[in-house]
């Protein structure tokens, strides 16, 4: 208790110096009223910045002007080991995080794959990668009464060549797509073999003509507007698109499916950069995110499952009862986690992903941004 009271004094002392508090997060991945509430509570201006893919994170966090430092980041979890190794993340002081008791032990264990001691990052939200479907369009194009609950829609040429006429969108992420293809082809989705990455890349290059977009941001708008009929995307993103399409009375049925072959389960994290000028305030923010009321507000807004069990009673029933957001045990048995790739394999994956995109269009050919050696 004495330690916590001393921490509060430190935070408010820091506030007298800190005029701004900078946060870097994935696009559309928090209820921004949560940021405003935190700023009001601690009397600081929260400057919020976003990125929509891994290149965006590299650019804004690793390549940007050193003066543009952040106090909180939501990094791609695959980058966490390298960020720790290069001393880019602040070692957390759990004495300043009393709400850590609220975290799911399963989530902490999952995150140990990237942060073996849970010393540099804490779990944020989790979900799956699946398919956003415009039901009417898919039925019409395929001439079926029921939409196949399968990755066949995008990875089987027989289906994909037909659905290309109404639009197929892939996430622009080698780390997400390669494991899905490997799992679909009967290999291990969590493989870390370079030969498997080459195999997946070659397979996808044969499908390149069926892919309308590589996109991790605008695919939601395109799905809502009927510009694509199938989109590989994140569960919460697609649920947001479904909700918004209903509100706008678009007149068509959008669904999110977890394909029967299984898919990847991911967990995201939040961390403090080592060069923050507001370490105590940053700890206060992490602690704030672990309050059941706060994280419930975020989940109700973004439609992603969280890792605070005590928040469940505060969630909208539509979210809690949706098995695509909180899957049943039988569905969870079909899920796999994206592995921790070493730096050499990450670089190879970026190159082989570029080849897939080049096979689609020369406009997609570009050198990946590199912020640090190996990143």
pLDDT for the residue 375 = 60
pLDDT digits 0-9 by tens, 90-134: 999 999 999 999 999 999 999 999 999 999 999 999 999 999 999
pLDDT for the residue 369 = 47
Which residue ranges make up each domain of the chain?
2-126+266-326, 128-265+338-362
pLDDT beneath 70, residues of the chain: 1-18, 64-68, 362-375
Q: Three-state SS string across 307-350, please? A: CCHHHHHHCCHHHHCCCCCCCCHHHHCCEEECCCCCHHHHHHHH
Give percent above pLDDT 90 in the chain. 78
Looking at CATH, the fold of the domain delimited by 2-126+266-326 is given as D-Maltodextrin-Binding Protein; domain 2 (3.40.190)
pLDDT for the residue 361 = 75
Task: Decide if domain 128-265+338-362 falls under CATH 3.40.190.10.
Answer: yes
pLDDT digits 0-9 by tens, 46-105: 999 999 888 889 899 988 655 568 999 999 998 999 999 999 999 999 999 999 999 999
> How far apart are the C-alpha atoms of 9 and 275, rounded to whole Å?
22
pLDDT for the residue 3 = 52
pLDDT for the residue 373 = 44
> How far apart are the C-alpha atoms of 102 and 80, rounded to whole Å?
22
Do the domains at 2-126+266-326 and 128-265+338-362 have one common CATH topology?
yes
pTM of the model: 0.82
């Amino acid at each position: 208790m004495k330690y916590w009271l001393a921490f509060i004094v430190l935070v408010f002392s820091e506030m007298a110096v800190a005029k701004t508090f900078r946060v870097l997060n994935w696009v559309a991945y928090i209820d921004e009223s949560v940021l405003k509430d935190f700023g009001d509570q601690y009397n600081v201006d929260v400057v919020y910045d976003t990125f929509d893919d891994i290149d965006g994170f590299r650019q804004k966090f690793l390549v940007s002007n050193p003066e543009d430092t952040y106090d909180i980041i939501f990094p791609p979890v695959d980058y966490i080991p390298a960020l720790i190794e290069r001393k880019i993340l602040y070692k957390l002081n759990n004495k300043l995080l009393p709400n850590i008791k609220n975290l799911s032990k399963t989530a902490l264990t999952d995150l140990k794959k990237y942060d073996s001691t849970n010393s540099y990052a804490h779990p944020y939200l989790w979900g799956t990668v699946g398919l956003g479907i415009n039901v009417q369009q898919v039925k019409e194009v395929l001439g079926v009464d029921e939409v196949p609950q399968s990755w066949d829609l995008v990875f089987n040429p027989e289906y994909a060549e037909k659905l290309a006429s109404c639009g197929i969108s892939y996430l622009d992420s080698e780390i997400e797509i390669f494991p899905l293809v490997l799992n679909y082809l009967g290999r291990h989705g969590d493989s870390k073999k370079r030969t498997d990455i080459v195999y997946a890349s070659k397979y996808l290059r044969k499908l390149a003509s069926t892919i309308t977009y590589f996109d991790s941001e605008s695919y939601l708008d395109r799905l809502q507007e009927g510009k694509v009929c199938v989109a590989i995307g994140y569960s919460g993103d697609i649920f947001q698109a479904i909700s918004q399409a209903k509100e706008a009375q678009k007149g068509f049925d959008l669904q999110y499916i977890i394909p029967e072959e299984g898919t990847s389960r991911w967990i995201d994290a939040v961390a403090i950069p080592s060069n923050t000028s507001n370490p105590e305030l940053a700890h206060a923010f992490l602690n704030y995110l672990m309050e059941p009321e706060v994280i419930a507000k975020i989940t109700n807004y973004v439609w992603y499952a969280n890792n605070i069990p005590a928040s469940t009673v505060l969630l909208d029933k539509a979210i809690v009862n949706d098995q695509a957001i909180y899957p049943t045990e039988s569905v969870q048995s079909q899920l796999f986690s994206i592995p921790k790739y070493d730096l050499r394999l990450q670089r190879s994956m970026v190159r082989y992903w570029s080849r897939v995109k080049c096979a689609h269009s020369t406009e997609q050919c570009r050198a990946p941004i590199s912020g640090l050696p190996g990143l």
